[in-house]
């Protein structure tokens, strides 16, 4: 549907896209079918398999990543909407110093059983603790309300987030005192 | 995995209007993707073309005007929740939007998408309709404003034509209205409402202790083919000389009768109808009597 007033490329039907985005602070460029989601790009194109596919419908939270500062289901981000975005996955987040207390707390409290929901849980917990230093119980429940776990019954996960918050506060306090 | 569709990536609203007036196959808009991609995974024939409007900046703005607030159709639920005037004065809207999906859904889902889907259970719709919101529909050739109350014609159906796009949601400013929203669902989060109610009300207390309703707006969700205004209940409340317990009870009964719910996988006719009254009663208790 050509029109001289517009950039013709924007008016063409596309089935393949070249997408530029930032993944864990590294610039990436991928050429993928337009039917690919961010989850497909991460797992199949870039082999970042830490982000899991659960329901594929945005209900379970297993594929949670941080996109432009917000918790986001990677299964519902289509390649075209990924252009120019800033993405953090569990691989990037778990390498950060302030994620270590969260991961340690999940391990120490057995907040993980089969482990499939864990990357999404850790990403959602990391996002919560980067917003609130000492979250209330309601804030924790709210922050994890989009993440399903079929093993633990959630109690140990919530305990782990609380423990991680205490730990992070202690680290920060010691940092200030030192 | 998704398959068998193509995308269009217009870079401005004018390009969007141009492509949707010239496209010759069924298309859907893609902004947050929280509904359209779920539907396409279920039914690959749902759309052959997706028109990506996620990067059209002017659709994502929320602006204050003299007598209105204008919300771009591409404004995300999280942006609505973060907008201070809404938090301050449109409690009913904020409560509803905060209950949509999960934090993951609210960070990418949009208000325009929630409206455009035209689900009778769309949670942002009842408070917007109670607040007399309007939508702006634009096409390559025209521009029209439609009251949200007149926008929906049935489940999944609206007056929007295939060459139109919702560009704005226009929310009038009010003085003195207190508002709230409540729903019943299977779970607390990631749930579709069985029934929901939005109430905006302004009451005047007389020296003799009686309470008169100066202004009231009620919308009910998931209890009719579209979200509806409970006009008979509103009229009754406005004409009530004193809003006492008996009057509240009567208003709730009228609201039950105004609903026209169906039985489906989420709930049944009788329960939904009765719960209209219960939710309205709870909202009146909270907003008028502080209980």
Q: Residue B95 belongs to a domain with what CATH number?
A: 3.30.465.10
Contacts of residue A9, defined as CB under 8 A and 6 or more positions apart, other chains included, come to none
**Which residues of chain A are within 8 Å of residue B12 when distances are taken between CB atoms?**
6
A14-88 to CATH, choices 3.10.20.30, 3.40.50.300, 3.30.590.10, 1.10.3720.10: 3.10.20.30
Of A34, A71, A142, the CB nearest to B6: A34
* Whether residues B222 and B254 fall in one domain: yes
* Cross-chain residue pair B7–A78, CB shorter than 8 Å: yes
Q: What pLDDT is stored for residue B48 in this prediction?
A: 93
DSSP assignment letter at A12: S
| Least confident residue range of A22-31, A113-122, B268-277 | B268-277
Domain contains B179: no
- Asked if A56 has any chain B CB less than 8 Å from its own CB, the reply is yes
> Searching chain B, which residue's CA lies closest to the CA of residue A57?
B38
CATH of the domain at B261: 3.30.390.50
Domain contains B1: no
Token pair recorded at residue A121: 């849980």
Candidates A52, A53, A58, A67, partner chain B, best to mutate (most B CBs within 10 A):
A58
Rounded distance, CA A30 to CA A42, Å? 10
Of B15, B37, B41, the CB nearest to A11: B15
> Searching chain B, which residue's CA lies closest to the CA of residue A74?
B104
Long-range contacts, B142-150 (Cβ 8 Å, 24+): B145/B170, B148/B115, B149/B229
- CA distance, residue A69 to nearest chain B CA (Å): 9
Domain boundaries, chain A: 14-88, 96-177
**Which residues of chain B are within 8 Å of residue A21 when distances are taken between CB atoms?**
none
Candidates A4, A9, A11, partner chain B, best to mutate (most B CBs within 10 A):
A11
Q: What pLDDT is stored for residue A8 in this prediction?
A: 74
Contacts of residue B280, defined as CB under 8 A and 6 or more positions apart, other chains included, come to B197, B199, B218, B230, B233, B251, B252, B255
Longest Cα–Cα distance of chain A, Å, equals 65
pLDDT in tens, B54-105: 999 999 999 999 999 999 999 999 999 999 999 999 999 999 999 999 999 9
- Asked if A10 has any chain B CB less than 8 Å from its own CB, the reply is yes
Q: What pLDDT is stored for residue A2 in this prediction?
A: 67
**Which residues of chain B are within 8 Å of residue A61 when distances are taken between CB atoms?**
102, 104
* Cross-chain residue pair A12–B34, CB shorter than 8 Å: no
Q: Tokens 């379970």 — which residue?
A: A60
- Tell the burial category of B239 from Cβ atoms under 10 Å away from its Cβ (0-12, 13-18, 19+): exposed
Domain contains B68: yes
The answer to whether residues B166 and B67 touch, using CB atoms and an 8 Å cutoff, is no
Of B8, B32, B189, the CB nearest to A146: B189
Rounded distance, CA B44 to CA B66, Å? 45
* Cross-chain residue pair B22–A1, CB shorter than 8 Å: yes
Over residues A138-153, the mean pLDDT reads 96
| Predicted confidence band of residue A11 (pLDDT cuts 50, 70, 90) | confident
**Which residues of chain B are within 8 Å of residue A36 when distances are taken between CB atoms?**
2
**Which residues of chain A are within 8 Å of residue B8 when distances are taken between CB atoms?**
10-14
3-state secondary structure of A99: helix
> Searching chain B, which residue's CA lies closest to the CA of residue A10?
B10
Domain that holds residue B67: 58-172
Domain contains B137: yes
Q: What's the per-residue H, E or C state across chain B?
A: CCCCCEEECCCCHHHHHHHHHHCCCCEEEECCCCCHHHHHHHCCCCCCEEEECCCCHHHHCEEECCCEEEEECCCEHHHHHHCHHHHHHCHHHHHHHHCCCCHHHHHHCEHHHHHHCCCCCCCCHHHHHHCCCEEEEECCCCEEEEEHHHHEEECCEECCCCCCEEEEEEEECCCCCEEEEEEECCCCCCCCCCEEEEEEEEEEECCCCCEEEEEEEEEEECCCCCCEECHHHHHHHHHCCCCCHHHHHHHHHHHHHHCCCCCCCCCCHHHHHHHHHHHHHHHHHHHHHCC
- Asked if A178 has any chain B CB less than 8 Å from its own CB, the reply is no
| Predicted confidence band of residue A7 (pLDDT cuts 50, 70, 90) | confident
Q: Sign of the C-alpha dihedral, residues B227, B232, B235, B237? A: negative
What order do you get walking across the sheet with A86-88 strand by strand? A26-33, A16-23, A86-88, A64-67, A70-73
* Cross-chain residue pair A14–B33, CB shorter than 8 Å: no
* Cross-chain residue pair A57–B78, CB shorter than 8 Å: no
pLDDT in tens, chain B (291 residues): 888 999 999 999 999 999 999 999 999 999 999 999 999 999 988 999 999 999 999 999 999 999 999 999 999 999 999 999 999 999 999 999 999 999 999 999 999 999 999 999 999 999 999 999 999 999 999 999 999 999 999 999 999 999 999 999 999 999 899 999 999 998 888 889 999 999 999 999 999 999 999 999 999 999 999 999 999 999 999 999 999 999 999 999 999 999 998 888 888 999 999 999 999 999 999 999 998
Angle at B182 between CA B166 and CA A124, to 5 degrees: 75
Domain contains B178: no
- The whole-model pTM stands at 0.95
Domain with residues A96-177, CATH architecture? Orthogonal Bundle (1.10)
Q: What pLDDT is stored for residue B82 in this prediction?
A: 97
* Whether residues B34 and B115 fall in one domain: no
* Whether residues B63 and B141 fall in one domain: yes
Token pair recorded at residue B67: 């007598």
């Amino acid at each position: 549907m050509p029109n001289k007033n517009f950039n013709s490329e924007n008016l063409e039907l596309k089935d393949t896209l070249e997408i530029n985005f930032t993944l864990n602070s590294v610039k990436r460029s991928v050429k993928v079918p337009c039917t690919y989601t961010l989850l497909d790009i991460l797992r199949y194109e870039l082999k970042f398999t830490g982000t899991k596919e659960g329901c594929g419908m945005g209900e379970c939270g297993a594929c949670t990543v941080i996109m432009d500062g917000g918790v986001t289901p990677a299964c519902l981000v289509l390649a075209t909407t990924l252009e120019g975005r800033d993405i953090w996955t569990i691989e990037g987040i778990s390498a950060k110093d302030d994620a270590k207390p969260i991961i340690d707390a999940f391990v120490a409290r057995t907040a993980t059983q089969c482990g499939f929901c864990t990357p999404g849980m850790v990403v959602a917990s990391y996002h919560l603790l980067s917003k609130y230093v000492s979250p209330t119980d309601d804030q924790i429940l709210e922050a994890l309300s989009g993440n399903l776990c079929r093993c633990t019954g959630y109690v140990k996960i919530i305990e782990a987030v609380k423990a991680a918050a205490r730990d992070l506060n202690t680290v920060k306090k010691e940092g200030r005192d030192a | 995995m998704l398959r068998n569709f193509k995308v269009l990536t217009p870079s401005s609203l004018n390009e969007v209007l141009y492509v949707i007036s010239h496209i010759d196959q069924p298309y859907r808009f893609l902004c947050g993707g929280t509904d359209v991609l779920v539907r396409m995974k279920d039914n690959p024939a749902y759309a052959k073309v997706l028109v990506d409007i996620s990067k059209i900046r002017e659709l994502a703005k929320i602006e204050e005007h003299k007598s209105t607030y204008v919300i771009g159709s591409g404004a995300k639920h999280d942006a609505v929740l973060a907008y201070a005037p809404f938090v301050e004065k449109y409690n009913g809207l904020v409560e509803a939007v905060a209950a949509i999906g999960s934090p993951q859904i609210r960070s990418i889902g949009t208000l325009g998408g929630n409206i455009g889907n035209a689900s009778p259970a769309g949670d942002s719709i009842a408070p917007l309709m109670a607040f007399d919101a309007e939508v702006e529909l634009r096409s390559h050739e025209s521009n029209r404003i439609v009251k949200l109350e007149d926008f929906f014609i049935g489940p999944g159906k609206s007056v929007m034509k295939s060459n139109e796009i919702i560009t704005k949601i226009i929310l009038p400013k009010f003085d003195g209205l207190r508002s709230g929203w409540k729903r019943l669902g299977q779970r607390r989060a990631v749930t579709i409402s069985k029934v929901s109610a939005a109430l905006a009300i302004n009451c005047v207390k007389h020296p003799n202790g009686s309470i008169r309703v100066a202004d009231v707006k009620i919308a009910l969700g998931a209890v009719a083919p579209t979200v509806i205004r409970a006009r008979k209940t509103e009229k009754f409340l406005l004409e009530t000389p004193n809003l006492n317990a008996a009057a509240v009870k009567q208003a709730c009964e009228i609201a039950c009768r105004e609903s026209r719910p169906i039985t489906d996988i989420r709930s049944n006719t009788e329960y939904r109808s009765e719960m209209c009254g219960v939710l309205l009663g709870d909202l009146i208790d909270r907003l008028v009597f502080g209980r």
